[in-house]
């Protein structure tokens, strides 16, 4: 039986899906991916993600926020637009927001300003946090520590760190999202070492499509574009690293995603899992 999965982070509004988005969604369903959270990484992208969710309201919901790479594009004057996006009923989390000092496409000071602005908006809208962090661990942990009211309703998307970073995140109460990074024995060894230490009730799965195509996929696809249909590969590799049964881990991560984002999976036509009924928890 194909496990039922939720992809908590897919950039489905990305232009690489423009030519075959319907087919991408169909392949995801055939692979057992019953629901997907469409990532917003700029204000414009968040609007596109919301529009896409309106086209497929039984399958998709969105995040709304600004990735740290684009922090300089989020002016204080944009706060009203950000607030409007976060209040949209299709939005189930604030983000993708956080800090990224790996390339510093936006200066660190601008990243911290934009992150703080989004933390404030998330608090006002009582939204969970969809977080990003790379090479900025100390500042990231410190800033989150100043907003205990937002924790633990926060997930660190695409976690790539090792056991030490993981312990700091767990101490804050964060959930952890694992992508195909775990399928890369070259770059992903730290994550592979950390994966068994993630509490089962705080683990979720994602593709980050179209990025991070799982290296372990066989046969290799004729392209480098990742898509939600490959989420079962992330599941299999994560289960292997943790020494867990695939079906048990699938059930746990799906339950975690539904609880975190306030989703209820419902049966589709002829008993297949083909739609998602979204409900909001009392804390949302």
What pLDDT is stored for residue 269 in this prediction? 43
| pLDDT tens-digit series, residues 215-263 | 999 999 988 999 999 999 999 999 999 999 999 999 999 999 999 999 9
| pLDDT tens-digit series, residues 103-149 | 999 999 999 999 999 999 999 999 999 999 999 999 999 999 999 99
Arithmetic mean of pLDDT over the chain: 93
| pLDDT tens-digit series, residues 181-209 | 999 989 999 999 999 999 999 999 999 99
| pLDDT tens-digit series, residues 17-40 | 999 999 999 999 999 999 999 999
Q: How confident is the model at residue 265 (pLDDT cuts 50, 70, 90)?
A: confident
What pLDDT is stored for residue 2 in this prediction? 86
What pLDDT is stored for residue 53 in this prediction? 96
What pLDDT is stored for residue 276 in this prediction? 63
- Architecture per CATH, domain 5-278, reads as Alpha-Beta Barrel (3.20)
Contact 172, 151 (CB under 8 A): yes
% residues pLDDT > 90 (the chain): 89
Contact 135, 68 (CB under 8 A): no
CA atoms within 13 A on the CB side of 270: 0
Q: How confident is the model at residue 284 (pLDDT cuts 50, 70, 90)?
A: very low
Full DSSP string of 190-252:
HHHHHGGGS-GGGEEE---TTS---TT-SSPPSS----GGGHHHHHHHHHHHHT--HHHHHHH
CB crowding 82-110: b at 16 or more within 10 Å, else e: beebbebebbbbbbbbbbbbeeeebeeeb
CA triplet 214, 216, 220: central angle to 5 degrees? 85
What pLDDT is stored for residue 278 in this prediction? 53
């Amino acid at each position: 039986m194909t496990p039922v999965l939720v992809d908590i982070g897919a950039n489905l509004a990305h232009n690489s899906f423009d030519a075959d988005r319907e087919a991408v969604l169909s392949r995801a369903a055939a692979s057992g991916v019953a629901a997907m959270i469409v990532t917003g990484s700029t204000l414009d992208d968040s609007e596109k993600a919301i529009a896409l969710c309106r086209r497929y309201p039984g399958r998709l919901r969105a995040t709304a926020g600004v990735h740290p790479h684009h922090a300089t594009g989020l002016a204080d004057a944009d706060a009203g637009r950000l607030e409007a996006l976060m209040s949209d009923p299709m939005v189930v989390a604030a983000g993708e927001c956080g800090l990224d000092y790996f390339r510093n496409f936006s200066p660190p000071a601008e990243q911290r300003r934009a992150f703080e602005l989004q933390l404030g908006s998330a608090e006002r809208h009582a939204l969970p946090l969809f977080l990003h962090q790379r090479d900025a661990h100390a500042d990231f942990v410190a800033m989150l520590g100043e907003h205990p009211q937002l924790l633990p309703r926060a997930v660190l998307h695409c976690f790539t760190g090792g056991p030490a970073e993981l312990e700091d995140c767990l101490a804050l109460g964060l959930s952890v999202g694992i992508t195909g990074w775990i399928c890369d024995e070259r770059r992903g060894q730290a994550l592979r070492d950390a994966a068994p230490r993630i509490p089962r009730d705080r683990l979720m799965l994602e593709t980050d499509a179209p990025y991070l195509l799982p290296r372990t996929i066989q046969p290799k696809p004729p392209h480098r574009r990742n898509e939600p249909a490959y989420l079962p590969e992330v599941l299999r590799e994560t289960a292997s690293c943790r020494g867990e049964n695939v079906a048990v881990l699938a059930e746990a991560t799906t339950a975690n995603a539904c609880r975190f984002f306030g989703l209820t999976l419902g049966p589709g036509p002829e008993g297949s899992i083909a739609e998602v009924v979204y409900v909001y928890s009392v804390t949302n």
